[in-house]
Structure formats: structure tokens, C-alpha cells
Amino acid sequence: MDSKGIATVDFLFTLILTLIIAISTLNLIGTNLNTEKSIEEDINGRIILEKLANSINQVNSNFPGNIQEIHLSNNISNNSYIITVKSGYITLEFNNKEGKSAIFPINLVDFNMEHVTEIKLYSGENYKIKKSLDKNNISVIQIYRVG
């Protein structure tokens, strides 16, 4: 401001430039926070997938009768999820995202020993993974919910 209290062009230019820099910085910080949340969700989903894939592969690598019990966490960043187990891979779906993890090829059966193409697992539930032999003496993997 000059001696009469009127803003000069230099002062206005400096004020506008400072506001632009401040707004740009705040926008960049907000974008980084959203990116970090997305990365955290992806990592948590990947950890769940890898633990389940490891459990299925361990049971499949042992003798018939081998059982492991697993607990799926309640949510990923407050989002429920669904895991689909198929013959050679498992898929996790949540919040319009999908992740896959490979497993050793397996023959899937339901609780009644009927062959199925996929088994759905839901967040927050407990499941047993069991290696058995079907009526043709072929090794199969059962995955079923327990209380």
C-alpha cells in the first residue's frame, strides 16, 4: 500500500501469486492423501489374498485329511469383500477393485463332496480348508464356513 492506503499493483500481484501457490499446495496434499489410502487398501487386499493362497497351497501339498482353519478379516478400509476360489487362482473383490493370486491347480468340492467350479468366501467369516479324496480316489480341496 502507498501512503494514502491504496493497494499497489505489486502488492495485488504478490497476493494473487501467494494464493495460487497455497491452493496448488493444498490440492497436491489432498491428492497424495487419496493415493496413500488407495495404496493401503491395495496392500491390505494383497496380504489377505496371499495368506489365503498360502493356506490353500499348504493344505494341497499335504496328505488327505490335512486341515487348516482361517479367519478372514472383517473389512478392508471399512469395505466388505468377497473372495472367489477357482481351480488355479483366487480373486478378491471390494470397492470396485479386483486382485488375483495364483494357487496350485486344485479340484474343488463343496461340503457334500460335489465338484464345483468356484467357492465364494465372505469377509469376517471363519473357514476350514481340507484335503480329501473323492469317490474316484482323486485328491480334492474342500473349503467350508465354520461357526
**Contact 77/37 with Cβ under 8 angstroms?**
yes
pTM to 2 decimal places? 0.76
In a domain, 88, yes or no: yes
Is residue 2 a part of any domain in this protein? no
Residues in the chain: 147
Segment 30-40 shows an average pLDDT of 74
Cα(125)–Cα(79) distance, rounded to whole angstroms?
A: 14
What string of H, E and C letters represents the secondary structure of 41-102? HHHHHHHHHHHHHHHHHHHHHCCCCCEEEEECCCCECCECCEEEECCCEEEEEECCEEEEEE
User: Tell me, what's the pLDDT at 49?
Assistant: 94
Within a domain: residue 32? yes
Q: pLDDT for 46-57, tens place per residue?
A: 999 999 999 999
Domain for residue 125, yes or no?
yes
SS3 3: coil
Per-residue pLDDT tens over the stretch 92-146: 999 888 999 999 999 999 989 999 999 999 999 999 999 999 999 999 999 999 9
Pick from 22-26, 39-43, 60-64 the range whose average pLDDT is largest: 60-64
Does residue 44 form part of some domain?
yes
User: Which residue range is the domain that position 19 belongs to?
Assistant: 9-146
Average confidence (pLDDT) over 52-64? 95
Is residue 57 one of the residues assigned to a domain? yes
Residue 118 resides in a domain: yes
Specify the number of domains making up the chain: 1
In a domain, 3, yes or no: no
